[in-house]
Each structure stands twice: as C-alpha cells, then as structure tokens.
Chain A
C-alpha cells in the first residue's frame, strides 16, 4: 500500500470520484485505523488541542525533508517524486478529513502548511499577510474539502484554492488584478522587453537574494505566480496548467516571459554599480 514514487503523475489520477491520493508512505497510516470511515461524520475521540497539535507535529516530523537547496531541478524532482510528492496525503487520512475528522485535518495541514505558507509569502511579500492568507486558505479547505473528488491531485486542488485566496486579497488591496484569467494575461507594458540582450549585458556572478526578491515582487501577478510555482515550488507545467486552468503551452510561455522580465530587472539593478 505504500508508494514512494510520484503520486502526482500516477495515471490513476483520472479516475472519477476517487478520493484516493496515492500514498506517500506509511507515515500517516497509523492514523487510518482509528475509526472514522468515509461518509460518516464522526467526531474523533481525541479532539483536544493537544491531540490535534500532536497529530500535526507528528505529521510534520514525519513529512519528508525538503532537499531542494542546491539540487538541480531534475535531481530534485526525481529525488522527491515531484513537487506534490512531499505533501501527498494518505487516502484514508484524506477521507477522514473529508468526513470531518479534526485529527485527520490537522495532518493534512501539517503536510501542506509549508508549501501553502511559502506560496502566500512569495506572492504578497509580507509575513503577517501571508499568515492570514494561509489561515484563510486552510479554513476554506476545511469548508470545501468534502467536495474534493480526486479529479486532480489533492495538492494541485489545494494550491488552486490557495491561489484564489491570494488573488482575492490582491484584489482587495486595490491592485488592478481581478481574476486568474487577467493575472495570466499581463498587458504588453508589463511584458519583458523585446531586446533579448547582447552578451555584454549578461548577468555575471551570483544573484543577490534581496535583488531577486525585489525583482520577483515587481513581476506582474501572473508571471510571479508561474515563476513561484515552477522555479521556486518545483511544480511541473502540467500541474501548473491544472491549477491555473490554462494550457501547458501557456504555462511555459508565461514562465519564459517571467524569467526574461526578471533578467531585465536584475540587469537594471546591477547596471549602476557594475557597468561602466
């Protein structure tokens, strides 16, 4: 029953009404024989904060350590089984969470909190706001989790939900962004320059984190989203396309434009000091 390969790319994903997420590992399965069955809303015996915190902490401890630093993209994906693999949810845990089991929901939170919080943080660039958005995303998840039918990977579905929460927040803040569609279609002014760069303007040396953070923060929302999902979070284009309801080609094209725009920005930041 254990599958440590890439659940995100399992062909069985297409099965309708399947709430089964391929197992990440047996780490979560100790919670699966505690009684809650799908379809029967049962209040677990242990619903105290301590019990739930224990489940969350234990799940966090058991979740695979992310080893993305220093690993090249391909190595990372092979090692971790893809972006979603590290946070795949045991099907029984998911079913129990869908049936209202708080402990199972705590486990779902523990497995996905880092990725959702990191996504929020990179999108809004503000810790307090990212915390609020993470909270809102998981509260919405709790309200909607019973509607998850397994048509896509759970992590894809959850990310889509979180992305919508983030976009809603950006809209509240008065940015021109209104919908995901609009986020995916920056105006021509927001796109990268057409000059693909002469060799003498090539980036040299290491990129400074603050400079990159600034450049990412200045990207149009759609570009920022794709760049974060692909280059930071490690999702693949087919996963991003499912999250954002766009074509794989669109995801690739937007990513390329995002990187070009970052290159423009980083060169501009470097130029006053480094270029004669």
Chain B
C-alpha cells in the first residue's frame, strides 16, 4: 500500500529515498519535505554523496600488463591441452 505523500512519516519517506536520489525527479518538491527539515537535510546529504561518487570515482583503465598476463596464461593452458 502506498502512503499518501502528504501524510508520510519520516520512515515512509526515507524508504523511498533510495529511488528518489538520481531518479531525475525533483525530489525537493515532495510534499513531505515541505514540512520536514530533517528529511530535507538528509536528502541533500545523500544526494551530495551520490553525486560525489560519480564525480570522484571515474572508471580506471587497467595497465596493459593485465591483458599480457591473461594472454600468457591462456597460451599456457592451450599448450597443456595439446
């Protein structure tokens, strides 16, 4: 059963928070936040953390040696099979 957004408890709102963050929706317009400063602050913090994760942890290229090692191991396996 979905709670009425305007009458949500903090617990009910926070259960949805994981989805709200990064969903593209304007979570700040949620009715619960109009009257709950604590959840507003929490949402801002968690949004900051999620944004920081994307910005501060770019994907990293492994060094070429990793593929070279994989290739050597595969060649060894092939030779053993023969």
Please give the residue numbers on chain A whose beta carbons come within 8 Å of chain B beta carbons, in ascending order. 49, 52-53, 56, 66, 68-76, 102, 105-106, 109, 113-115, 117-118, 121-122, 130-131, 134-135, 138-139, 142, 196-199, 202-203, 206-207, 209, 212-213, 216, 227-228, 231-234, 252-253, 255-256, 259-260, 262-263, 266
Contacts and interface: CB of A to CB of B under 8 A. Distances in A.
A197 B48 contact: no
Contacts of B44: 202-203
B8 interface: no
Contacts of A202: 41, 44-45
A57 B46 CA distance: 38
Given A69-B54, A197-B38, A253-B18, A203 B45 contact: yes
Interface residues of B, number: 44
Contacts of A121: 60
A130 B61 CA distance: 11
Interface of B: 10, 14-15, 17-19, 21-24, 37-42, 44-46, 48-63, 65-71, 73-74
A231 B53 contact: yes
B38 A207 contact: no
A263 B49 contact: yes
Nearest to B73: A139
B42 to A, nearest CB: 6
Contacts of A52: 71
Given A114-B61, A142-B74, A73 B24 contact: yes
B67 A109 contact: yes
Given A73-B24, A75-B24, 13 more contacts: A73-B21, A74-B22, A106-B67, A109-B67, A130-B62, A131-B65, A135-B69, A196-B39, A199-B37, A232-B54, A253-B18, A259-B49, A263-B45
